[in-house]
Amino acid sequence: SGLITIDPGFKNTGSTTSAITYLDGENGILKYRGYKIEDLAEKSSFLEVAYLLIYGELPTQKEYEKFTREITTHTLVHEDIKKILDGFPSNSHPMGVLSSLICSLTAFYPESLDPTRNEDAVNLSIIRLLAKMPTFAAWAFKNKVGHPVNYPDNSLDYCSNFLKMMFALPAERYDVDPVVSKALDQLLILHADHEQNCSTSTVRIVGSSQASIYASISAGINALWGPLHGGANQAVIEMLEAIKADGGDTKKFLDKAKDKNDPFRLMGFGHRVYKNFDPRAKIIKKAADDVLAKLGVNDPVLDIAKELEEAALSDQYFVDRNLYPNVDFYSGIIYRALGIPTDMFTVMFAIGRLPGWIAQWKEMRENGEPIGRPRQIYTGATDREYVSMNKRG
Ligand code: CMC
């Protein structure tokens, strides 16, 4: 009812009020629950940030211990999930496997389908999601490469356990490198929430129909997969590799990105909200230098990335449109240095974004928000007479 305004991509439409993440695109400010991203990235840990996003406060020592203990208790998944995993051809993209396994939790925990379930039951679903996500992510990778899966090791912290499930092989000893684990933890913090982006809006809108939290998060994973969203981190590395394979001429690719007749875009550049710089990209650029130096990795693709960034930042096309490197521009370079294969990059983003999706889903339900249901302006045919098939030209 009333006047409908069309706003493609919801560029100027607010879908909700929210007390979770503050984002000032003009000044490059990002805060979770009022805490600066720079402080959290330096001083906090991923699970502490998860608690902060979901429950609104930094946990006390006791709350933190309870939270991490509960997550550790639920890392194991039902054995039957292995049968689902086995049904996927090896070589399946891990994002499709991940979203399917998360959605399969609706079958293992059907009580999540009850929209009237109490707070304790909702909290248990939240714990299960956080606990099982790394197990599913590592298993999606094992399926891809055709290796047997590893079970969680509950003596390890969140990131170390994930890395061990990813990389340990049955016949070899595997020790988690603390530098790798720490770098991963920081990357996850930087990805943990970003207000009403495409995947988060998806989670909220699916959840607004009172669908299960598992179904809502699974939908968010699918939204994240696309190259214009979380899939950009994979696309960035593929682009940098293509530039390298082509002889390393960054200007040629810059010209391609500027050519309106060419669909190619500079992956990892531009952002719907940040029009000056992406504060996460700043932290990540520095982290990429640190991590590569600490691990003694020399990656020629990093040099191409730096050259490309420099060229774009001084190019009028990019200046005029306020296009800056975003979070995905350098994250892939760190993931590579940590040994994470390219098609797992977006899965890493999903692990990081999970607490944000959960917090936003919870806020939407607690606010009692109505079902999401945008309107349209119809532009199709008006009245037409039905013509039987034998009379159609
Ligand atoms: N390369 C070349 N031109 C670009 C790019 C780019 N990466 N990004 C935007 N533009 C141009 C676009 O062609 C348009 O030009 P014009 O005004 O001449 O038509 C102008 O800049 C505005 O772009 P837009 O597409 O209207 O902006 P948007 O807010 O709809 O899109 C974006 C934002 C992030 C989808 C887009 O910048 C893009 O496609 N970037 C590359 C993909 C990427 O890195 N995505 C990750 C985003 S950050 C993390 C995440 O969300 O997962």
pLDDT of amino acid 204: 98
Minimum CA distance residue for ligand 1 atom 27: 272
Closest atom of ligand 1 to CA, residue 194: 51
DSSP 323: -
How many Å lie between the centroid of ligand 1 and the Cα of residue 270?
5
What integer pLDDT is reported at residue 1 of this predicted model? Answer: 53
What is the biggest distance separating any 2 CA atoms in the chain, rounded to whole angstroms?
A: 77
C-alpha span between 16 and 245 (Å, rounded): 45
Atom of ligand 1 nearest to the CA of 229: 52
The verdict on whether 328 is a catalytic residue reads yes
Tokens of 66: 């309870």
Q: Whose CA is nearest to atom 16 of ligand 1?
A: 321
Cα of 267 from ligand 1 centre, angstroms: 9
Which pTM was predicted? 0.94
What are the extents of the domains in the chain? 66-225+346-366, 232-337
Per-residue model confidence (pLDDT) at position 48:
98
Helix (H, G, I), strand (E, B) or coil at 313: helix
Q: What ipTM describes this predicted complex?
A: 0.96
Domain 232-337 is of which CATH architecture?
A: Orthogonal Bundle (1.10)
Rounded CA-CA distance 22/194 in Å is 8
Q: Among the options 157, 185, 193, 328, which is catalytic? A: 328
Q: 254: CA distance to ligand 1 center in Å?
A: 14
Pocket test for ligand 1, best of 11, 12, 95, 228 (most atoms within 8 A of CB): 228
Rounded CA-CA distance 315/375 in Å is 40
Low-confidence ranges of the chain (pLDDT < 70): 1
- pLDDT of 276 reads 87
Q: Count H helices, E strands: the chain? A: 17, 3
State residue 346 phi and psi, 5-degree precision.
-70, -30
Number of the ligand 1 atom closest to the C-alpha atom of 9: 30
DSSP letter string, 218-271: HHHHHHHHSTTTTTHHHHHHHHHHHHHHTTS-HHHHHHHHH-TTS----TTB--
Q: How far is the centre of ligand 1, averaged over its atoms, from the C-alpha of 221 (Å)? A: 21
Active-site position among 157, 191, 193, 271: 271
Structure confidence at residue 121 (pLDDT): 95
At position 241, the amino acid (one-letter code) is E
Residue of 187, 265, 266, 309 best suited for mutating to test ligand 1, as the one with most atoms within 8 Å of CB: 265
**Matching CATH number, 66-225+346-366, of 2.60.120.10, 2.70.98.10, 1.10.580.10, 3.40.50.300:** 1.10.580.10
CA of 186 to the centre of ligand 1 (A): 26
